[in-house]
Amino acid sequence: MHIQKELIQATSEYFEDTIDQLKLLEASKKYKAILHKISSQKIDTEEGRIDIENKNGKSLGTFWAGLCLDDILRTRQFIKGIDNAIKDLKKRNTIHVLYAGTGPFATLILPIMLRYSNKNISYTLLEINPFTFNILENVITALELEDYDITLVKDDATRYVIDPKNKPDIIISETMQSALAKEQQVPIFLNLMRQVSQDTVFIPEKIALHLALKKAGTPDGRFLKQDYTDIEKIFEVSKASMFDSYLSEKQGDEIEVFSKKKTIIKEMDSKTASYLLLNTYIQVYDDVKIDVNESGLTTPLILRQIPNDIKSTITIDTQYVISSEPRLAYQIILNATEV
């Protein structure tokens, strides 16, 4: 069977309206096998495991980036969300998709690319890691996509300059971990948001970090909806939240400073809550979402156990910080004792 057809068949489950975990698992195994077959280079090597450390966060090594495909619900929700976004923009004569941080396989766009005609969608595939980029070139060549309008760019998406005459309609990047820690999702989106207009679709559309309390008496390590209560949203990455506040002109290498937030939980009682958590929510596109603990990207982060003898309020100061290790910085004050 021709490799394009094989890939279309293998990935059809990602486009179904209902989620069937078993079928998705089978689909991801087949999809992965095809990608490894056509990439014609081993990535489970020393070189493949080296992350790139940048001053505003790290970029995953080739092997780790390839593994993201195995986060089954993540991969399904992104593919489904991107597909829905393209369908919603179909009225436009042409659509330009910029995919920042493709990994070795451009995992989130290949199944979509092959399903649409090559006529009116153009793709810019951007990747910082040279080893990953070489494999991406192999994959695109092996799939015989010469008729498609694909531009491969080896560059840093936190600095990449968009051609003002060819602005993207859709910008995709999945360069994040839960709690928006370590990787460069935020500086990448800020750089790209600064260069496009309000009607550009960003995927994910929204990433939100919420402080939450895990209910006392619920099993440790279980994070079902009934096991925690959200307290307050403390950081959001979206066009709506970024456009007004943070998209003014930046001076050279200046790094954004996000506003600080203070959250006070009154009359804290250890009988009702056992842990203070940081929850990550992702709205991929419209109603396609990734809820808490549905993916490695939304694993709750335990900030602190609530002590048994707590009687007063808890104050939590938070601020998102971009540095060589981006993260939500926090300080928790219990009974006037800082921890």
Residues that bind ligand SAM (CB under 6 A): 59-60, 65, 68-69, 100-103, 107-108, 126-129, 132, 156-158, 174-175, 184, 188
Peptide bond into 204 cis (omega under 30): yes
Of 175 and 295, which CB lies nearer to ligand SAM in the complex structure? Answer: 175
Of 130 and 217, which CB lies nearer to ligand SAM in the complex structure? Answer: 130
Q: Which residue is nearest to ligand SAM (CB)?
A: 101
- Report in angstroms how near the CB of residue 305 gets to ligand SAM at its nearest: 30
Beta bridge partners of 277: 212, 302
Exposure string of 42-71, with b = 16+ CB inside 10 Å and e = fewer, is ebeeeebeeebebebbbbbbbbbbbbbbeb
- Report in angstroms how near the CB of residue 208 gets to ligand SAM at its nearest: 19
Helix/strand/coil for 294: coil
- Report in angstroms how near the CB of residue 311 gets to ligand SAM at its nearest: 43
Of 103 and 168, which CB lies nearer to ligand SAM in the complex structure? Answer: 103
Of 160 and 315, which CB lies nearer to ligand SAM in the complex structure? Answer: 160
Distance CA 219, CA 201 (A): 39
- Report in angstroms how near the CB of residue 155 gets to ligand SAM at its nearest: 7
Of 81 and 300, which CB lies nearer to ligand SAM in the complex structure? Answer: 81
Going from the C-alpha of 120 to that of each of 97, 109, 126, 156, 172, the distances in angstroms are 11, 15, 20, 27, 18
Residue for token pair 């080896």: 154
- Report in angstroms how near the CB of residue 334 gets to ligand SAM at its nearest: 35
